[in-house]
Structure 1
Amino acid sequence: MTTTLTRSAAAAVLDRLFAAAERDDDRPVPDLSRADARQRADALRDIYMPVSRSGGELLYALARTCRPRTVVEFGTSHGISTIFLAAAVSDNGEGHVLTTELSADKVAAAGDNLARAGLAGVVTILPGDALETLADVPGPVDLVLLDGWKELCLPVLRLLEPRLRPGALVVADDTTFASMGDYLAYVRDPANGYVTVDFPVADGMELSCFTPAA
């Protein structure tokens, strides 16, 4: 079956972006251990930091299955994961993706990539600090992707929780990173209202279903 992911425009953009992201493996990364989120965003404005292709395909399949009307993404970067989510929303025939990015350069790049993929119409990019730009996102939120700075994934989730639809799906990327420890401890504690599973794609993904007490 033909989908947006297999049509020439989106497929060509993804191929180009993944090829560019692979070249990042040979680039030196500065020591940013003392930098705040904005300083890191500015320093890494040319670095892609994408989901893996298999992780993106998983996101597409999940979004096609749960048919979200509102998708929230934390961490746009150059828009690779956003394209997978937007393709699913487009193929579902309903829904919208709200995504947030701190780097102004990446906001511009992601906007251009989404336009080239033919998916700009189903995505709104919110520029700035996610803890500010997502504070007023309207609910209910059906699907969340957390792929920004790892120490902020839990604060962003807690910010969105009051607007999560019961049964909402929350996906966190790069869960093998030590900096995701607090997040994983939170969603894996049944007292916090999640049913969760570790999914073995590159660098790990945690799939969590929001199941608040009645």
Structure 2
Amino acid sequence: MAFTNTLADPRVDAALKLMFGRAEQDEAALARLGAGFASLSPQEQADAAAEIYIPISAAGGTLLYNLVRAVRPATVVEFGMSFGISTLYLAAAVRDNGTGRVFTTELSKDKIAAARRTFADAGLDDLITVLEGDARETLPKVDGDPEFVLLDGWKDLCLPVLRLLEPRLRPGTLVVADDITMSDLRPYLDYVRDPANGYQSVSFPIEDGMEISCRL
């Protein structure tokens, strides 16, 4: 019996290894941003962080791949593409499911250009739609109801983005947030962990933690 695993495709594997290698320089690049970074607008922050990968971990990416394979969503939404590491994991799962599409969001024009080249080189560009601009403005334009959502952009925007998508989330939709140890994500975590808001939520101990929430 033949098994399909696009993550093992040499083109995808090479792209991930290259980007994870470059992401090792993130700490030095973050140090150069300075104390005024937090006071910038989302677009200014994106431009200032144009060289920073801020990636999901390899283990986190594999978890995303497995979840998408299991859920088989027709529409995958990602908030915060950066250079596209997590997007590759999502698109690889969609490829192996034989159905679905990934809609991803990014503010930085430089990152978008680089990611599009990577997606083409990896042979997954036909499954990915990149929405350029503020996710709060671009995500309402996505066709179809999201059936799997990854929130990995600026942490203070994760809750507003979730609330924006919420009217379109059907029961059983999975919503995954990365880096749950970051203080800016606390309002989001408080929200999805409150049963009154309609989620069953669990923390998964990978790297800086992932919160997996099922829409009830």
TM-score tier after normalising by the smaller chain length: over 0.9
Match for residue 193 of structure 1 among 190, 198, 206: 198
CA RMSD after TM alignment? 0.9
Instruction: Give the conservation status (yes or no) of the 8 Å contact 2:4–2:96.
Output: no
Instruction: Check if 1:82 corresponds to 2:87.
Output: yes
Amino acid at match of 2:15: V
Structure 1 match to 2:208: 203
Structure 2 match to 1:151: 156
Instruction: Give the conservation status (yes or no) of the 8 Å contact 1:139–1:165.
Output: no
- 1:52-63 alignment, distance < 5 Å: 52-63=57-68
Percent identity, aligned pairs only?
57
Whole-Å separation in 1 of the counterparts to 2:47 and 2:53: 13
Q: Give, in angstroms, the shift of residue 22 of structure 1.
A: 1.0
Whole-Å separation in 1 of the counterparts to 2:131 and 2:143: 13
Q: Give the match's secondary structure for 2:123.
A: coil
Whole-Å separation in 2 of the counterparts to 1:17 and 1:126: 21
Instruction: Check if 1:20 corresponds to 2:22.
Output: yes
Amino acid at match of 1:85: L
Structure 2: which 5+ residue stretches go unaligned?
A: none
Q: Give the match's secondary structure for 1:18.
A: helix
Whole-Å separation in 1 of the counterparts to 2:158 and 2:144: 19
Structure 2 match to 1:92: 97
Structure 1 match to 2:132: 127
In the TM superposition, what whole-angstrom CA distance separates every residue of 1:103-158 from its partner, at most 9, and x where no partner exists?
A: 11111111111111110000000000000001222332100000000000000000
Match for residue 162 of structure 1 among 167, 171, 176: 167
Structure 1 match to 2:55: 50
Q: Give the match's secondary structure for 2:18.
A: helix
Instruction: Give the conservation status (yes or no) of the 8 Å contact 1:139–1:164.
Output: no
Q: Give, in angstroms, the shift of residue 2 of structure 1.
A: 4.8
Q: Give the match's secondary structure for 2:83.
A: coil
Instruction: Give the conservation status (yes or no) of the 8 Å contact 1:138–1:163.
Output: no
Q: Give, in angstroms, the shift of residue 98 of structure 1.
A: 0.3
Higher helix proportion (structure 1 or 2): 2
Amino acid at match of 1:29: R
In the TM superposition, what whole-angstrom CA distance separates every residue of 1:18-41 from its partner, at most 9, and x where no partner exists?
A: 001012233333121211111110
Structure 1 match to 2:33: 30
Instruction: Check if 1:64 corresponds to 2:64.
Output: no
Q: TM-score, normalised by structure 2?
A: 0.95
Task: Give the length in aligned residue pairs.
Answer: 211
Whole-Å separation in 1 of the counterparts to 2:81 and 2:198: 27
Structure 1: which 5+ residue stretches go unaligned?
A: none
Instruction: Give the conservation status (yes or no) of the 8 Å contact 1:97–1:124.
Output: yes
Amino acid at match of 1:98: F
In the TM superposition, what whole-angstrom CA distance separates every residue of 1:51-106 from its partner, at most 9, and x where no partner exists?
A: 00100000000000100100000001000000000000000000000001001111
Q: Give the match's secondary structure for 2:170.
A: strand
Match for residue 10 of structure 1 among 6, 9, 12: 12
Whole-Å separation in 2 of the counterparts to 1:143 and 1:182: 21
Amino acid at match of 2:163: R
* Counterparts in 2 of 1:40 and 1:93: CA distance versus 1, 3 Å: same
Instruction: Give the conservation status (yes or no) of the 8 Å contact 1:9–1:117.
Output: yes
Structure 1 match to 2:189: 184
